[in-house]
Every structure is written in C-alpha cells, then in structure tokens.
Chains A and B, each alone.
Chain A
Amino acid sequence: MKKTWLTAILAAGALTLAGCNSDNSTEGASSGEGGSFEPSKTIEVVAPAGAGGGWDTTAREVARIFGETGIIEENLTVINKEGGGGAIGWAYIHGQDGSAHNMFVASPPLMFVPLNGQSEHGHEDFTPLANVIADYGAFAVSADSEWDDLNDLFDQMKEDPESVTVVGTSSPGSMDHMQFVRIAKAAGVDPTKIKYVSAQDGGALTSVLNGSVDVFSTGVGETVEQVRAGNIKVLGITAEERMEGEVLSEFPTAIEQGIDESFINWRGFFGPPNMDQAAIDYYEEKFKELSESEEFAEVRKKYGWSEMYMSGEEYKEFLDTEKQEIQTLLEEIGLGN
C-alpha cells in the first residue's frame, strides 16, 4: 500500500513538473490538494452483476466511450463480480481501500440491498465520483386491461387491494417493488396491502401478457418494444417530466396524473473508500466530459436513458435524501431492518 502511495505521489510530481515545463496545461490542475492525478495503470471498472444486465451495459458503454474518445487515455477494463444482488462486488471494491484505479457502477440497489439487510456495505461506505444517467420506472398492464391510467388502477386498489397483483423481477423491498409502493402511496393506496410477486427469467413480462398478474413494475426501456407491438400499455412512469424520444414521449408521468411523486433510477460511478481527493477531482472532470460528449449522447439515445450529471456535495446530498426516503417507506410497510 505504501509503495503505491509513493509511486502515485512521484508520478503526480513528475506530471506537475512536465506540465510546468511544456506550459500547455489546459486543465487547471487542482493545486493545493496535493497535486493533480493521472491514472498510471489500467482502471478496473466493476459491474457487480453478470454480463448483459443494466450495470454491465452501463459500465461497458462508459468504458468504450472513454476509450474511443480518448477522454481517458489509460485503458479501462470492465470486470463482472456477480452475486448477492451486488453485495459480492461491493465487498470486493470495499477491500480496495484508497485505490485510485478501481471503481464500480451503481444505481438504487446500492441502497435497497443494504436496507434489506443483504449487504454490509451501502453507498455511504464508498466514494461517489459522478452520476451519469437517469432511468425511470414504468407501470405496465396488458393491452386489453380495463385500466387506462394510474388513477383507474389505484382506485381499484383502494377499493379491493386483494384483487390486484404487481409483478417485478426483484424481491420485495427492492427497486421494482418500492418504486411502485412509492407512487401508489402518494396516490392514497395503503402501502401495506400491495400484493407483489417476484419472477425471474422473463417470467414477469410473461405473466402480465398471459393475464396471471395485473401490473408489471419495471424500467421504462423494457416496455418500449412491447408497447410498439401493442401487447401492453404503460399507465404511468416515475419521471418528473415527459421523456424524450419516439414512444417514450407518449408515456404519461404520475405527476401529470395528479400524483405528486417520482422515482429516479440514477446510475453513477463510485470509487473505493478513502480515494484521494486529487483522483476524485480527476474523475469528476472526466465523467463531466463524457456526459457532455456527442458519443455518449448517442449511447443514451440507444438505450433510452436521460442525461443526469451530478458530482461532489450535490451528489452526496441527493443520495442521502433518497436513502432516507426509501428507509422510511420500507419501515412503513414492515420491511425495514
């Protein structure tokens, strides 16, 4: 560990010198924080899940754009640390204390999983670098359903909560469940009476299509193709404003239906605990460049993600408030730890 520190300081020193000599210091190197930082070896980006999922895709696309645009010149490699809904990957990164060459991609499960008692590590145990994108939840029903908007659905749930089943991919207390609870509660539904089942391997969409369950709580992106084919309809999404893009812009928000609540599926990058301030500054800057690049705008468009850059204190505050809200809600429905 000491050796790495020394090398980092030496490298940083050498770079500052080099910067002075060649006087093309384009970036105002954050002096006063102990010099600037440049990665000196391959940066490891952990996707705490298997290949093909949301975390993996985000990590790989971000690493690809960093490489293709040359925003970060050093290599970035994505590795998958699958297990425990993220807990295995988080435990791994937590063990890389102080390293400036490790980071991982995260989203609300970094709060849900520890709050459900399934991980020792939560977002406050890591170094938030930057948020890059926002995604939103969608509540979909079969195309021939009698409900046409969220209020139809929630009226039915207020009258006879036992008659409506909600399905999602993850377990109760996790994102698919809680985004629905959050909106439903704001609409006046008793949050303790919501019936939720979890189904893996494509079972969630299947059981909505064949009518075994009533409502599918999922991400907006998962619904687009089925809506275009006329198989399902989206009653509402959790964004604050209408989204942009074909099909996406047709989805009504909960807010415009008079339900004053939203839920952001934020996605950002975190480093191990005790990352050096110079390295944090470096990554904040780089992620900002990435977020503003045209290449990354293409990626957002491809997956239907929205732009949402946040860093520093603003990001920390946002995360803390979100966690507080989730915790309160979990306690209310009796799932809090």
Chain B
Amino acid sequence: MDAFQGLLAGFQVALSWEGILFVLIGVVVGTLIGMMPGLGPISAIAIMIPITYGMDPAPALVMMAGVYYGAVFGGSTSSILLNAPGISGTVATSFDGYPMAQQGKAGKALAIAAIASFFGGTVSVIMLMLLAPALASVAISFGPPAYFALMLMGLTAISSLSEGSTIKAMISAVAGIMVVTIGIDPQTGTQRFTFGNVNLLDGFDFLVIALGLFAIAEVCMLIMNRKNRNLSDDQKLGSLKVTRADLKEMSGPMTRQSFVGFMLGVLPGAGATIASFISYIFEKKISKNPEEFGKGSIKGLAAPESSNNAATSGAFVPLLSLGIPGSGTTAVMLGAFLVLGVQPGPLLMSDRPEIFWGIIASMYLGNIFLLVLNLPLIPYLAKILSIPRPLLISLVIMFSLIGVYSISFNTFDLYMLLLFGALGFAMRVFSFPAPPFILAFILGGMMEQAFRQSMTISNGSLSIFVNSPLPLALIIVSLLSLTIPALIKWRSRRLLLKQ
C-alpha cells in the first residue's frame, strides 16, 4: 500500500461516524483539560486509558491523539487570561498574551492564539503526512553531542528574553540551572541537593516552577497592587476582531515557527515547551521592533502558539514511525497504544496502515473542530476576567493547587508551588526576570546530561563536539549569536565616539 492509498484508508477511518465522534470527544476533553491551569495532556491520556479497554484501536487512538493536541490548543487560554500556563508548552504564550489581555484586548489575544494554533496544527499535519517516513531519519540524527550544542544555542538566547539588566537575567538563569540539578543524577545515580528528602529525588516538575513563578507570583502582585484596577470588573473583553493588518503581521511568524516547531517536535526530548521558547526568541531576534515583545506583541503571541501546536504533531513522527516516545506525554501515549495491542514502530505503517494514517487524517479534522469550537467560546472564556477580583484570585490559586497536585498526587509539591510563588514574587519586586530562569531550567538539565554522556562516550575528549558537522554547525551558530550583537554594539559605540 503506498502513501496515497494509505491516506485514503486513513480518511475512511477518520470520516466514519465513529471516527468523527471520537475525534470530537478527544479534542473537547483535551481543550477543556488544557484550559485548566496545570492540568495537561499526560493526566488526560492516563485517565482515558482504562476507558479504551476493549475499544477498536483505531478510534481509540484517534481520540487519544485528539486529547493530546486538543490540550495544547486549549492550554493558551489560561496563559493569556490569567498568566497561569495551562500546560508547560504554553508558558511562552503568556509573555505577550497576558500583557495583551491586560490592555483590554483579551478577546483578540484569544482569537490570535486560536488562529495561530490552527495554522501551526494544520501545517504540521501536512508535513507529517508528506514526510513522516522520511523524517524518521531526522528524528534519530541527534546524538548527545548534537543535543548539547542545540541546548547551548538555546541558552545563548537568554539575554534576549529579558529587558533591563543583563546581569539580573544571568543570575536568574544560573538559579534555574542550579534548581534543575536537584534530584538523582542519571549519569551517576547519586543524589544531589536532596538533603535526604525522598520527595526531592526526582527534582522539581516543570509545572511546579512555571505555575509558581508565573501564576502565584502574579496573584501576589495583584494582591499587593490593590489600588491598580488592572484586572477587575471594568476590564473589557475588547473586540474579537482580528483585522487584516493583524493577520498580515502574524503570517510571517506563523509560517516560520510552524516549521521550526515541527522540526523541534520531531527531535525526541525537545518537544512543545522548548519549541515554543525557541520560536519566541527566534521571532524576537529577527524582529525590527524587538522592544515590542513582552508588551503585547502580536508576533510574540503568534510565534509560540503556532510552534507548540506544530511541535505536538512533530512528536508523532518518532512515536509512530520509530516507536520512540520523545516526551513524558508521548510515553504515556505509547502505553495507550500497547494496551490496545498496537505496537508503534517502523512497521506500523505497513502492519496497521489504518491506524497510522487514521491518526494523521483525524488531525486535519481535529484541528478544524478545535478552531470551530474555540472561536465562538472566546467571548464566554474572556468573561472569566469579569469575575470579581477576590474570587478570581482564589480561583487561580485553587486551580494551580489542583494542577500541581495532579502531577504526582503529592502534597509536598504544593508547598514547593508556594515556595516558587514566593520566589517569583520576590523576583518581580526586585525586577529579576522569570523567563531566563524557566528557560535555563528546561534547557540546562538536558544540556548537562548531554554533555556528560558525550564526555563518557569520547573518554573525556572535547573534540567530540567539533568532529561531526551537526554539533559543530550548532556551536558556530551559538557563538555567532553571542558575538554579532556585541560587535554591532561595539561598532556603533565607536561611531558615536568618533562623532
């Protein structure tokens, strides 16, 4: 069966009444769970595994996939409205989405996020359909040295994630790297900074930190600035209308970042969170007005939103075509496949074409459903902001607590949420930016592990990073991105001095 026939068979699955029904159930459950701060696709999929016992595998897996990308789609809502990331992939969405909502443009921000998500989702499904078998080789092209170089490239962008003091941004980033070292070190099996506490053995979950530094810190700020009525009854939903000019402005970032997000999603271990950050930084770096970023820029919102949705489809490449789960969520997905008696891997496409192509075909449908469902909901969702402030604050706190508790059902995590909330609040007060902390936390851990894996493989020789083209190219790019801005600055200063 060739790809075209396969795809036809796939659409037969996706467009059967069963297929349509289960895609719909999947995306509705996914969006709703994604909207709750902290509750993400992992818990949604895990909850649904027992429901699928005895079901026909094709519709069951189509539904599971729908839950996954539906959650990423819906995750932007609470990032934009409440500064509380719905899932880890939408932390970057809040950088510009939340300022927009505060400026009374909540409706527009949600509409832009929905359109960008739809665009990213659809572009990436097309790529998934055309390139999935070919991309399998891309997914395994990254060895430890290349991962190290990729993470290094991401970290060199830290300075561009902050305004004001570079030193404060660096301190914040170093703190992020320090926090990620807590727990059992995979390369030696020794405990680092756990102080004998079993709850620290696995280190901190990303969401504990993201919700603490963003949602809880924001709540503290709101309580402190009681007189500023920047989030209260008189807040307007604003026009929903996305003008032609807006569309034109977002088309560039959407197109570029759908590709970037998809390719990063294909790499095991990278995923939607890293993709959204890198896309945000990418757009800010190439923007003519980088100073607009972080203050409600349409580009700054569209970039991470199209990227994280594209990365979600990208993550299906290693899962479906290699049987390699690249993240915690896809690992749970893999478990769902196995329970249903389907083995994802290199032979899935020939053994079970209806499942392989059925999932891909259903994603077209799922993305359309998501757009159609989400757009009319926006006015109602944005009404959240008209909830009286004391009530809203309590709700944010409550949902953050529920979200964190649902990660591993451990009350210890709740205290840690409060701790990081306090830290985030202190950082706000003393104007230390939080994004570098978060970025260093997600990249630093992988970077350290990749570095040490490389060192073991090469018996301690650093030449492993320059001996093959991929890591070498990435290291050169990161060096350039560090030196070029400095050079430009130095030159313009010299020009000024001459004058």
Contact = CB atoms under 8 A, between A and B. Distances in A.
A85 B189 CA distance: 11
Interface stretch (A36-44, A209-217, A253-261, A265-273): A209-217
A64 B409 CA distance: 23
Nearest to A198: B186
Interface in A90-141: 91, 116-120
Interface string B310-351: 000000001000111111100111111011010111110000
Interface stretch (A47-55, A233-241, A285-293, A307-315): A47-55
Given A88-B198, A205-B324, A226-B345, A51 B186 contact: no
B335 A53 contact: yes
B338 A228 contact: no
A222 B333 CA distance: 15
Contacts of A195: 456-457, 459
B162 interface: no
Interface stretch (A12-20, A146-154, A171-179): A171-179
B346 to A, nearest CB: 3
A292 B270 CA distance: 44
A50 B328 CA distance: 9
B462 to A, nearest CB: 16
Nearest to A303: B338
A299 B335 CA distance: 14
Chain B interface size range: 35 or more
A79 B406 CA distance: 12
Nearest to A231: B346
Contacts of B202: 82-84
Contacts of B339: 57, 60
B361 to A, nearest CB: 23
Contact of B325 (A170, A202, A229): A202
Contacts of A231: 346
A224 to B, nearest CB: 8
A328 to B, nearest CB: 18
B459 A202 contact: no
Which one of A50, A198, A202 has the greatest number of beta carbons of chain B within 10 Å?
A: A202
A54 B322 CA distance: 19
A148 to B, nearest CB: 21
Interface stretch (B9-17, B135-143, B150-158, B490-498): B135-143
A203 interface: yes
B441 to A, nearest CB: 16
Given A165-B457, A231-B346, A198 B187 contact: yes
B415 interface: no
Contacts of B268: 201-203, 206
Contacts of A8: none
A56 B191 CA distance: 25
A84 B201 contact: yes
Given A83-B410, A162-B459, A171 B184 contact: yes
A162 B140 CA distance: 24
Contacts, number: 166
Nearest to B49: A51
Contact of B332 (A52, A165, A198): A52
Given A51-B49, A51-B332, A162-B459, A87 B198 contact: yes
A212 B145 contact: yes
Contacts of A165: 456-457
A85 B186 contact: no
Contacts of A200: 186, 269, 449
B144 interface: yes
Given A81-B409, A83-B408, A162-B459, A60 B347 contact: no
Contacts of A303: 338
B177 interface: no
B453 interface: yes
A226 B143 contact: no
Contacts of B225: none
Contacts of B456: 165, 195-197
A171 B42 contact: no
Contact of B346 (A50, A57, A172, A225): A225
B473 interface: no
A228 B348 CA distance: 11
A206 B136 CA distance: 11
A335 B144 contact: no
Given A83-B410, A197-B453, A212-B144, A52 B46 contact: yes
A80 B409 contact: yes
B53 interface: yes
Nearest to A78: B50
Contacts of B347: 225, 228-229
A88 B457 contact: no
Contact of A83 (B147, B199, B449): B199
Nearest to B456: A197
A82 B331 CA distance: 15
Contact of A174 (B139, B141, B189): B189
Given A57-B339, A91-B198, A202-B269, A51 B42 contact: yes
Contacts of A171: 184-189
A302 interface: yes
A199 interface: yes
Contacts of A170: 186
B187 A172 contact: yes
A172 B189 contact: yes
Contacts of A228: 345-347
A261 to B, nearest CB: 22
Contact of B326 (A83, A85, A91, A201): A201
Contact of A225 (B45, B323, B408, B459): B323
Given A83-B408, A210-B141, A212-B145, A52 B335 contact: yes
Contact of A84 (B144, B198, B452): B198
A202 B408 contact: no
A207 interface: yes
Interface string B167-201: 00000000000000000111111010000001101
16 contacts: A57-B338, A82-B408, A118-B201, A170-B186, A171-B187, A197-B453, A197-B456, A201-B325, A201-B328, A201-B331, A202-B325, A206-B318, A210-B140, A210-B143, A229-B347, A335-B189
Given A202-B318, A228-B347, 10 more contacts: A87-B201, A88-B199, A88-B201, A171-B188, A172-B189, A197-B144, A201-B269, A202-B325, A205-B322, A225-B343
Q: Which 10 A-B pairs have the closest CB atoms?
A: A52-B335, A212-B143, A229-B346, A84-B201, A225-B345, A51-B46, A171-B189, A202-B324, A202-B268, A52-B332
Interface of A: 50-53, 56-57, 60, 64, 79-85, 87-88, 91, 116-120, 162, 165, 170-174, 195-203, 205-207, 209-213, 224-226, 228-229, 231, 302-303, 335
